[in-house]
Amino acid sequence: MATLLAAMLCVLAVPDKTSGQTEPVPQFKPAVRFDAFVTYPYGMAVADVMDAQGNPGQDGNPELAIVGTGWDLLACGSEVAGGLIRVFRNTGTWQSDPANAMVPHWAANIPGAFATEVAFADVTGVNGPDLVVLTLYGGGGVLYVFPNQGNGEFANEPLGWAAPGSPLRGLAVVDVDNDGDLDVIAAVNDCPAGGPRNKIVVFENRSTFEDLIFVPTTIALDIAGDVAPGDIAAGDFFALSAGQPLIDFVTPNPYADSVTAMRNLGGLQFDPVTIDAPQACGSQTWLYETIVSGRFGVDAHWDFAAVETGQPYVGVFLGNGFGAFQSFCDNPALRYRLYSGAANIRAHGIAAGHFNGGTKLDLVVTLDNVDGPTGSEEWSGAVAVLLGRADGTFQTPSANEAYIYTSMLIDRPTMVVAADFNNDGYDDIATSSFYTEAFSVMINKMITAVGP
């Protein structure tokens, strides 16, 4: 019995030599691979929107939506096919039949554009979460909404709102103006080429009882040059400043060596505060592409973490509630090297979740071995996990590497989401593979919570 119990725990507690804390290290089952049935899969979203048979309601096992861009977004390549979106139903059979735990449920074409991001969000106010999709095309971008039909399906024909001259990529769905309904915020992408695109677009929800209506407003970023934000993350970063509590935004600037905090002044007015990399950073850059926000550690302030463009590094920025952030320029422990092996390892997608039973947010980042399995790196894709600590920093097994999980079953993972797919109380990890038209799910093997 004692041996069986030890096997069930599947927890390895590793002491953190830098702070004296010990965070339990999660273990994951080998990844389960699923065909995505979309070309160049990129953005993903997770929500519990139906039961195992596809009927309306919730059963504790979330579904997954994935969009295919239809072209090589990461390299600004040529068009391959039009954008697609698919929803996979979670049957809950992760223990008995994992190969069929996610099954295709619904699909639709993205009219005349290439899909980049997707979210489940109840923007209509009826029938539960709708599908919100961002797209881009040669002359701009479009926000599409596939309304939830209330029967386990979504509308086959979406509603759309154009943003001319603004190819859309980073996505946040939040109540920007505190009016009780959800608005959409999008970063303006740098691909296809042609700018300047140093701006975001706010789609204000002005829906009536009968009609869903979004009104786009372009907000300029306080950065110079032909640059564009890489992503966007929401949070009350100015919570301690005067004025009513409002959702603010942070966006990385991949080509400007800075980040921009957008302070929400109300009435769809924003004050962009550009934070340049201080001289104290020396040769270290602030060139970030993807970003995630949350309350790291145990204080109440909003923070964010960002992935360095094309590099296996993550920078953590701890907020103070007034829109200022402590970075690795102030504390070297806030920059994390994810992998110390092959030189051509590229990090990209990032997400926050709870992987080890603690109350503090952990981070997961995709790693793409651009050269493929070579030498000591007998893998072409992995994820790196950083375990959250009370002070907002993250535990790693060494100063030069995160916790690495290589059983991905897909090559070169791109984006990542964290969700409890098997309803056991611990977040699992799903990754999309831009180059193999698939996604994979790694189920967390932790059974009993250990530690804080």
Contacts of 332 (CB under 8 A, 6+ apart): none
Q: How far is CA 143 from the centre of its chain?
A: 18
Q: What is the tens place of the pLDDT at every residue in 294-335?
A: 999 888 899 999 999 888 999 999 999 999 999 998 898 899
Is 10's pLDDT higher than 70? Answer: no
- Taking all residues of the chain, what is their mean pLDDT, rounded to a whole number? 86
Integer Cα distance of 110 and 331 in angstroms? 45
Token pair for 244: 């009513």
pTM of the entire predicted model: 0.91
**What is the CB neighbour count within 10 angstroms for residue 230?**
23
Q: What is the tens place of the pLDDT at every residue in 345-385?
A: 889 999 999 999 888 999 999 998 766 666 566 677 899 99
Confidence (pLDDT) at 451: 38
Rg (CA), the chain: 21
Name the nearest CA neighbour of 306 among 119, 170, 143: 170
Integer Cα distance of 295 and 162 in angstroms? 33
Name the nearest CA neighbour of 338 among 404, 283, 293, 279: 404
Mean pLDDT of 394-423: 89
Integer Cα distance of 141 and 135 in angstroms? 5
Q: What is the tens place of the pLDDT at every residue in 236-258?
A: 999 988 777 899 999 988 877 88
Confidence (pLDDT) at 340: 84
Q: What is the tens place of the pLDDT at every residue in 54-104?
A: 999 899 999 999 999 887 777 776 666 668 999 999 999 999 999 999 999
Token pair for 314: 């993550």
Exposed, middle or buried, 243 (CB in 10 Å: 0-12/13-18/19+)?
exposed
Partners of 417 in the beta sheet?
430
Q: CB of 40 within 8 A of CB of 73?
A: yes
